[in-house]
Amino acid sequence: MSGDSFYALKTTTLQGQPADLSQYAGKVALIVNVASQCGFTPQYAGLQKLFDELKDRGFVVLGFPSNDFGGQEPGSPEEIATFCKKNYGVTFPIFSKLVTKAGPEQSPIYAYLGQSGSLPAWNFGKYLLGKDGKVVKYFPSKVAPESPELREAIEAALAK
């Protein structure tokens, strides 16, 4: 595994299948640690809207469920998938549940993202990645998908 790009990593889909993140190389990605029972959960709607608006321009949202904060993602993969589809019409990729917090159980995905100097302090932390798979900027949970600062950063990354 190369430490140079997020897109060098591998993970597992929500359905338990191997997933190679290299399939997103060359795209601008927003990586989000998601949870179904969080005060920020309604952000799924804005994330889906961003994905719908920008996917044809080389943008993708990648959701990584996490039960690290307040036990707010206790569901099984099937429950998570059903919740996201039924309540928010989510069509962007959601992967298997993982650990975001630093420590021996931390996912390699968050070990890589944490090299940026930021780890999520709560659910719905967002990492914007450039087309090269490097972290451009981290946005904390309170920065909504509709926020001008996030949208401007996405547009700037797409323009490169």
Judge whether 31 and 1 are in contact, CB under 8 Å. Answer: no
Is 123 annotated in the active site?
no
Cβ-based burial of 56 (10 A; exposed 0-12, middle 13-18, buried ≥19): exposed
Judge whether 22 and 55 are in contact, CB under 8 Å. Answer: no
The DSSP code sequence of 32-66 is EEE-TTSTTTTHHHHHHHHHHHHGGGTEEEEEEE-
- How far, in Å, are 6, 16, 26, 92, 148 from residue 48 at the CA level? 21, 22, 20, 7, 16
From the list 33, 67, 87, 123, the catalytic residue is 87
Residue in the block written with tokens 């929500």: 14
Residue in the block written with tokens 């060359």: 26
Catalytic positions, written as ranges? 87
